[in-house]
Structure 1
């Protein structure tokens, strides 16, 4: 069986509302949280762990259309994440910043619209709307002009019902990942920031360049415990194909996707060789926290030269990951970035960073606890990728009528 549904513009059935241009003087530490580009993570979610705020008094009738609530669909309109979408999960009022748009269904089922725009196909369509090689950018009108299938509303609801089951499994895995990451990060803070590690009561403190630290610990340069950009391929490398990690495919804490190329067709920046346990850190705009740990990569996985690849040599790779993703480390990179338009750091910036390195025994204990957590997170991320792939393969079959949605109870 095959069915051809009507199609129409996204703007025919949805309102697309670009965010509000707040003044620089509006920003403050608390108040009403505002969703910015940085909060659209690239994994079909909106990360509200760190948000900038504006005063409560700014929530006037004039700004009501920029209010974001639970279940709203957002799309990034500019930058490396242009075209990425996310669904808001919150129990508090939020406001929408410029360069992020809200897609508000009016004459369509919201879950059906989410199923469409969150698919890989449509996120790529959004991305290719963006013009400007240096800074991709799209308008609300361009988003509204994207063509979408528009089956009858009862069919939309049936399709959404099928795909929502996949979304719920994905969201459940994402919650588990956040819990596991929080557990490991809390352990790092407890042992290596607050110095409440096993047996700390009997260990005296001694002075160091970073203040008082436990006796037997040392302040070392990152280059003493890890290598930066250990190896890379060149034009003579005997690769038939490679799996490429580009900066836009990395969101805070994870690699969202890789792209397979024949070696001859690969981008010129596909040069950094990566291996299990390596840490990827985007050198451009480090305040955006585009970093991830590489876990069990396919052979011939190569990262962009826009990354610094950190390979742990004297510490567990999980220790290196948490040590280089603290707020203090991000601030160090941000303060040492150069270039007004595209602030960036270099390999020596990483190599010269000070790290507080504990005893070998304590490092081993930390690795014994956190490496299994990293493995479990990796398993959950793989499950999410498989669920998304299955969901994206199922969507066109539902829309084309290969699967008879009319026979599915509403």
Structure 2
């Protein structure tokens, strides 16, 4: 450990470790609106950020009638349980309350900066989550959190680390906001696409879902009589294909549609209705693959129409329409091929269609560039945290002079 650093339990660097509560939903008077209510933070809202406002607000009566507590600004929050949120972190940007699924840590600021603990929990998330227990759902406990050991430098070095990381976070936030703006603009542009006439999907493409198969038919490598397949796990949210784990299946019917370079892949069946209808473009690596019964292969009758069909199906209103059309009573929604064949798309003349596709591709290019920048910034953040929070690298005291100059 570097000179001057200490190691303590989180319990010893905090003056208060507590959780919150949920007022009874049966009492409407326990909840309020933003203008007169107290911000009430749920674990789904943590997301590794400074929280300024919340989705819900409780009244003074709700606060007094539950185990919810008023927490001061700079309280560090850690999600202890909840599907998909365990280990998520936040820091309060103002006074607010929280539900019982979060651990709230009020730091002794003469020992540790709240933002230092915030960054430490983010960097050590995997380790913290590994301590969770539970059969049906992995949960942390206040006891586990209290006993976590944290190493930290003197306050001046903590201040430098926090300031440097805040600069990186600022770049991440700005890029994320621009990315969201571009995504929203593309969605609005797609939703506005219209024409005097429409054309049904079955006039533009042939469509067929893939076959079913058992795990015994699968192999991670080609075997005699097998065919490469694209499964539901290869079609990730956000419109990206993940080809890191492709499979080969023996006994696929000869009638199974094989993907071409101009093919589109659509999610047909999913437990999450918002995923149904999500569409993906083929790439050279999957030419010749079959799709699963949970997907639909779409083969344009005219290959040049593939980009147009793709962007039309990507429109948010079209995605919502397909999600709403999904049926099923087993928890899995399913879109019918017959319904998809009858789906009407705007019919544009070739020149208008070309302009439409070019604009969509321009939006997409900007979006992908921003997405790449965001990934690079997050990687930089991870590398800096690993180096600075371990003491492997220290920020020199001359950094303080730089801060004074910039101020």
- Normalised by the length of structure 2, the TM-score is 0.63
Map of 1:266 onto structure 2:
none
Partner of residue 219, structure 2:
235
Task: Render the CA deviation track for 1:235-287: whole Å, top value 9, x for unaligned.
Answer: 05359xxxx9979x97x7588x9897899xxxxxxxxx9x9986779934447
Matches within 5 A, 1:223-372: 234-235=218-219, 237-238=221-222, 253=238, 283-286=270-273, 314=306, 315-323=308-316, 330=323, 336=327, 338=329, 343-346=331-334, 348=335, 355-361=343-349, 364-372=354-362
TM-score normalised by structure 1 residue count: 0.63
Structure 2: state its 5+ residue gaps.
224-230, 248-258, 287-291, 301-305, 401-407
Bigger mean CA offset, 67-76 vs 364-373:
67-76
- How far is 1:130 from its partner? 3.1
In structure 1, distance between residues paired with 2:154 and 2:83: 35
Match of 1:5 in 2: 5
Work out the number of aligned pairs and report it.
Answer: 358
Indicate if the aligned counterparts of 2:80 and 2:87 stay in contact, CA closer than 8 A. Answer: yes
Structure 1 residue runs of 5 or longer lacking an equivalent are: 192-196, 204-215, 264-272
Deviations 1:291-323 (A, max 9, x none): 9887999979xxxx9986887955443433334
Matches within 5 A, 1:16-95: 16-25=17-26, 31-32=33-34, 35-39=41-45, 44-45=48-49, 53=56, 56=59, 60-61=63-64, 65=69, 73=77, 75=79, 77-86=81-90
| 1:386 match | 376
Change over 3 Å in CA distance of 1:177–1:246 after alignment to 2? same
Q: 2:69·2:98 contact (CA, 8 Å) conserved in 1?
A: no
CA distance in 1, matches of 2:18, 2:243: 32
Q: Aligned partners of 2:312 and 2:199: how far apart in 1?
A: 15
Which structure is larger by alpha-carbon Rg, 1 or 2? 2
Structure 2 CA distance for partners of 1:109 and 1:133, relative to 1, 3 Å: same
- Output the CA distance in 2 between the equivalents of 1:54 and 1:103: 21
| Structure 1 pair 237–388 and aligned structure 2 pair: CA distance change class (3 A) | same
- Map Cα deviations across residues 40-65 of structure 1 (whole Å, 9 max, x no partner): 56xx458999x864565655456663
CA distance in 1, matches of 2:388, 2:397: 12
Contact 2:270 2:333 in 1 (8 A): yes
SS for the counterpart of 1:136 is coil
- Give the match for residue 399 of structure 1: 389
CA RMSD for the aligned pairs?
5.5
Report which structure shows greater RCO (CA 8 Å, sep ≥6): 1
Once residues 151 and 38 of structure 1 are traced to their aligned partners in structure 2, the CA distance between those partners, rounded to angstroms, is 31
The match for 1:113 is 117
Question: How far 1:390 moved relative to its partner?
Answer: 2.0
